[in-house]
Each structure stands twice: as C-alpha cells, then as structure tokens.
Amino acid sequence: MKRWSLSVAATLLVGVAAPALANDSVLTETGNAKQWAIQTGDYANTRYSELDQINKDNVGDLQVAWTFSTGVLRGHEGSPLVIGDMMYVHTPFPNTVYALDLAQDGRIVWKYHPQQDPNVIGVMCCDTVYRGLAYADGLLFLHQADTTLVALDAKTGEVKWSVVNGDPAKGETNTTTVLPVKDKVIVGISGGEFGVRGSVTAYNIADGSLAWRAYSTGPDEEMLVDPEKTTHLGKPIGKDSSLNSWEGDQWTIGGGTTWGWYSYDPDLDLIYYGTGNPSTWNPSQRPGDNRWSMTIMARDPDDGMAKWFYQMTPHDEWDFDGVNENVLFEAEIDGTERKLLFHPDRNGIAYTLDRETGELLVAEKYDPAVNWTTGVDMDPNSETFGRPQVVAQYSTEQNGEDVNTTGICPAALGTKDQQPSAYSPKTGLMYVPTNHVCMDYEPFRVSYTAGQPYVGATLSMFPAPNSHGGMGNFIAWDPVAGEIKWSLPEQFSVWSGALATAGDVVFYGTLEGYLKAVDAATGNELYKFKTPSGVIGNVFTYEREGKQYVGVLSGVGGWAGIGLAAGLTNATDGLGAVGGYAALADYTALGGQLTVFALPN
C-alpha cells in the first residue's frame, strides 16, 4: 500500500469564532420541524418529524417533485441536511459535498471535492459509504473516508479548519457522521476488521484542536473511566476492567471501533454511543470478555469521562458490533415516568435501559429466528445477570478453530446493522428496519499486520429458514413491553433508515429501490415508488413555502450490496455477503440519486 503522509495536527486555514455552546445552534435548528438539521432528526435519534401535511390519508398521492444525481456509483447512506433554503448533499467516497439553493430550483451554490488518496478504498471493509454531514454555528462538518475532519463555511464552502483523526495505513478509516455538542464535535473511527483500537475523540469547534480522546479498550486513564464511579449494571467496573479481560496486549489491536450513531441528552449532559466487535473474528485468539467492545457507553461531553457502560455481547464470537443507534425517549415503567434508551443490537436483542443509570430494563429478541442465545439473564441476583445465554451448538469456537459452525441466526450483519430506527411519540413504538439472515461461520488463525485485514473467519449467508423466505422485515416494536406489534416481510434486508411523522406515516426504503410508506399504527402499505437504484439511505422530510417534501438517497451498496457496489462475485467475498445477496443484481443496479417527493398542487 502506498505510504500515507497525513498530519495528525489541526491545520488552521482560516480562524473561526464559535459560540460557547453548539447545543444552542443544534437545538434551534432541529427545533424547527421545517428543516432536517441533523442526520438523526434530533439529538435523541428519534428520526421523527412533527410535519403532518403528508398523512396516512393522502400519502398515496405522492409524486416525484425533483431529483438530483450525485455523480457517484457506490452505496449512498445517510441523508442530506436542510437548513433554511439550503440543502447539503453528500456522497460516498470521494465524499463530495453539494450546497443546493432550494429557492433557486436547486442551483448548486458551491461544491467541495476533497482530495483523498484512493488507497483508502482498500481498507474500507464494507463499501465506501458515508453517513452524512453535521451542522452547527454556521459550519458543516465533513468526516472524510481518510479520517480528515473538515469544518466548512455553510454559506461559501470555504474550509475553516481541518484535522486528521486517524491513519489509513493502519486500517483507520471513517464511514459515519459526527455529533456537535456544546463547544465540541464528537467523532468516531472505523476499522475493526483491520485490528484498529476503537476510540471516540472530541475536537474543539473553534479551531479543531484536540479536546479529549476515550479509547474503547485498555488502561483506565486512556479509556477515561473512573474505576470507582463508572458503572456496569449498577456496579463500579473496578480497576483495569478492560485489561483484565484480554490476554496479554491483545487489547492494543482489539477493535471496539465506533462507527455508529451518537445521541445526546442535554438535561443529563451525556452522550451515548456503541462500540464494535473485538478483533480478530476468531474468538479462540482472544479469550476473555474483551471489554469494552460491544458496549453502550454514556459519557460527559466536556471531558469524555464515562458514567456507565453496558456490554451486550461479552467475548463476541459472531461479529455482532454494538454500534447501532441509541434512541432516547420517555415512558412509564411500573407506574413511574423514566428517561429511557432503546438499542436494537446486531446480536438480535432489543434493549431498553434507564439512560441516567444504565439500569437494564428490557432485553428481548426482535426476530424470532435468533438462535445463538436463549435470551439475556434478567435475574439481578444471578452471577450472569445481563449476559446473553449462549447456545453451545452455535458457539463458533466450540470445536476448535477450523470447524464450520452452521445455521447461526442472525448472520454477522446482525438482525439489523447501522440502518437507524424511528420512534413515534404518538404510538410509543419503534420502527425498526431488520435483516432476516443466518450464516455458517468458520474461524481460522490469523496474524496481525498493520493495514492488512485482521478477520480470521470465512462466512456464508442465507435467508433464515422456516419463515417467509425473504431476507428482511420492517417491524414495529414496543420498547417497554419488549414485543413486536407488527412485521412486514421483505425479499431483501431493509437497509434504509426509517422516518416517522406526525401524519401517522412511517417511511422506509428497500434494497430493490422502493420508497415505501406504511400506516404507523397497523403497518398497512399506503404507497411505494421504485427509485433508480437500491435504497440504503435514510428517509428525511422538510417543508418549504408551505409544502412538505419527503426525500431519500438511492444508490445500492453497503455491506448487503457490496457485491454490486464493488463488482465482487465470489460467494464468500464481502465478509460473506456477496453470495447471500447475489439475487439482488436481478432487481437493481448501481446509482447515485436523490429523489424528492411531494403531494400534487
């Protein structure tokens, strides 16, 4: 691989003054329902809009209002942002940004095209996706594939500052968005399949200087934990909690990367995110619980100190990254209104926790096909409280490193991957895009070389047996009762982020390319339209001049669509996804387009 020459110091190109708290800007912009000012809809990750002009009675009349081609033919995740009359559209690598003036028929006001070494593509495990821009205080934040974080003037596209967060020569890349909080911007890192040691980093919005970095594994001081105050299931984690759960110095290449979604509770002043799989995928090479991979973390945004952890899958044997979204909501439990957090994990368990304390309240399977565990031990007096009870038949290290374990459900891409859920306060339900996929998993011994794949397993994927034969479902989930209220089967995994609205409609996209609208209460299909390519983007909505619009990026790719996106044909390529989704090529082709819908005049 070509040598990288990337500075890790901030490059101050133009000085920029920032208000004391980006919160003020983010809360103001997201508080205006006419805009889509953050990838997740709001700090709470609800992906809910108060707009109701498009509702369950008229959504069937939707028409295409306008389209925009991005000029890139890889997987398009995330969504544009809408701030005032401006729409900001991003692309996968090379991470081009377009500023479109909605008041001038979508005229391109400015375009930012980063100069990145294309060698970074070779160290992006699961397509060259990017989940979108963030906005605060008149700045757009772009976290490029090569880990360069750039602050752009939202009006002009001028670079205000940039800083490099990682080193692609070591496999460190970026696929996810960032979160502006207070006077900082919070960023993660990708690369668990290359032995990257996961971390979350805060940079000062004013100038891009480093504020703090919290690692997912390692010594207490590097993880920013207090062994007596940071808790796990209500108990202090104790000294060297991570080091004691790894063999030797395996934690230095131990994964736990942070490429998922971030949420923030301004009242509790805590940020929430999940950490990914431990490295390598061969569990025999890393005995122990491998803390704190596969963990929900709650931290203080000022200094990064951790308040509480919850590890979903100790000693992960299946690549069930814990990076999925944490949706913040409030509901009554046992007669008491509580501040809650909902997390639908890759491992097939949907969790509800008290987001102030980390108390585990609900943990139930959200796909009946899940078979690697009988469930989570919910007895607080048990020594295994909070741990999933593994079914020996589906352990991937039960018979040694070279034996294929068959029929594991879900597959490594999980009962859901990063594709974010939506929450409606009107129904109290979570609307969850899911995968209905199983796998065979054969570990093998692998050695670590910086910048080279550090996987150590061969996978094949297939639809879950004895069910509808498809590879996905779109479900409505009760996060308090811990049960499915309704489920819509899909031929392929639902890899699009959902949107819920006050019009009692829920939107999502399909890998074949459909935008679909369903009744929030019943799941009845109300509308569908086939866009030019498979949809792995997240549906968003905005209003302009009294008219509501709904939009989505289409452009097949991501892990599920990596065969199409990268031209792969070997069934075990793409970490097993190519063979599992081979039929997708019969329904869609590569593309890169934004499609925006509205009701007729």
Q: What is the pLDDT of residues 110-148, one digit of tens each?
A: 999 999 999 999 999 889 999 999 999 999 999 999 999
Write out pLDDT tens, residues 37-86: 999 999 999 999 999 999 999 999 999 999 999 999 999 999 999 999 99
pLDDT of residue 11: 31
For residue 580, the 8-state DSSP code is H
Q: What is the pLDDT of residue 467?
A: 85
Average pLDDT over residues 357-386: 97
- Residue 218: which of 295, 168, 293, 302 has the closest Cα? 293
Residue 402, pLDDT above cutoff 80:
no
Average pLDDT over residues 497-515: 98
Q: Where are the domains of the chain?
A: 11-598
What's the mean per-residue pLDDT of the chain? 94
Burial of 288 (C-beta count, 10 Å sphere; 0-12/13-18/19+) = middle
Sheet arrangement for strand 81-83: 81-83, 86-90, 97-101, 107-112
Give pLDDT, residue 575. 84
105 labelled catalytic: no
CB 208 within 8 A of CB 293: no
Amino acid found at 144? Q
Residues 196-233 have pLDDT tens digits of 999 999 999 999 999 999 999 999 999 999 999 999 99
With a cut of 90, say whether residue 574 has pLDDT above it.
no
For the domain spanning 11-598, the CATH number is 2.140.10.10
Give the CA dihedral 461, 462, 464, 465, nearest 10 degrees. Answer: -130
Check residue 399 and give its pLDDT. Answer: 63
pLDDT of residue 153: 98
In 10-85, where do the E strands start and end? 11-12, 48-49, 63-69, 81-83
Give me the residue label for tokens 């973390």: 297
Query: Tell me, what's the pLDDT at 199?
Result: 98
Q: Which helix (H) or strand (E) holds 223?
A: helix 220-223
Cα–Cα distances in angstroms (integers) from residue 181 to residues 38, 563, 589, in the given order: 12, 37, 38
- pLDDT, residue 400, reads 62
DSSP string covering 513-568, please?
SEEEEEETTT--EEEEEE-SS---SB-EEEEETTEEEEEEEE---TTTTHHHHHT-
Q: How confident is the model over 165-191, as a mean pLDDT?
A: 97
Catalytic residue (one of 42, 137, 183, 319): 319
Is pLDDT larger for residue 267 or for residue 566? 267
User: What pLDDT score does 19 carry?
Assistant: 44
Q: List phi, psi (to 5°) of 49.
A: -120, 140
Give 142-161 as a 3 state SS string: EECCCCEEEEEECCCCCEEE
What share of the chain in percent tops pLDDT 90? 90
The per-residue pLDDT for 9 is: 34
Instruction: With a cut of 90, say whether residue 563 has pLDDT above it.
Output: no
How far is the C-alpha of 270 from the C-alpha of 355, rounded, in Å?
A: 9
For residue 405, which amino acid is it? T
pLDDT at 5 over 80: no
Query: What is the pLDDT, as a whole number, of residue 303?
Result: 98
Contact between 544 and 504 under an 8 Å Cβ cutoff? The reply is no
Residue of higher predicted confidence among 24 and 301: 301
Cis amide bond preceding 261, omega within 30: no
Question: Residue 514 is encoded by which pair of tokens?
Answer: 């459909």
| 436 Cβ neighbours under 8 A, 6+ residues apart | 367, 369, 410, 415, 463, 464, 467, 468, 470, 471, 472, 473, 489, 493
Give the tens place of pLDDT for each residue, 179-200. 999 999 999 999 999 999 999 9
- pLDDT beyond 80 at 18: no
- Give which of 178, 110, 54, 155 is closest to 596, Cα–Cα: 54
Q: What is the DSSP string of 97-149?
A: EEEEEGGGTTEEEEEE-----GGGGGG-BTBS-----EEETTEEEEE-TTSEE
Confidence label for 599 from pLDDT (cuts 50, 70 and 90): very high
Closest residue by Cα to residue 453 from 462, 440, 444:
444
Q: How big is the chain by its Cα radius of gyration, in Å?
A: 22
* Residue-level pLDDT at 573: 86
Mean pLDDT across 142-163: 98
Q: Which residues contact 249 (CB under 8 A, 6 or more apart)?
A: none
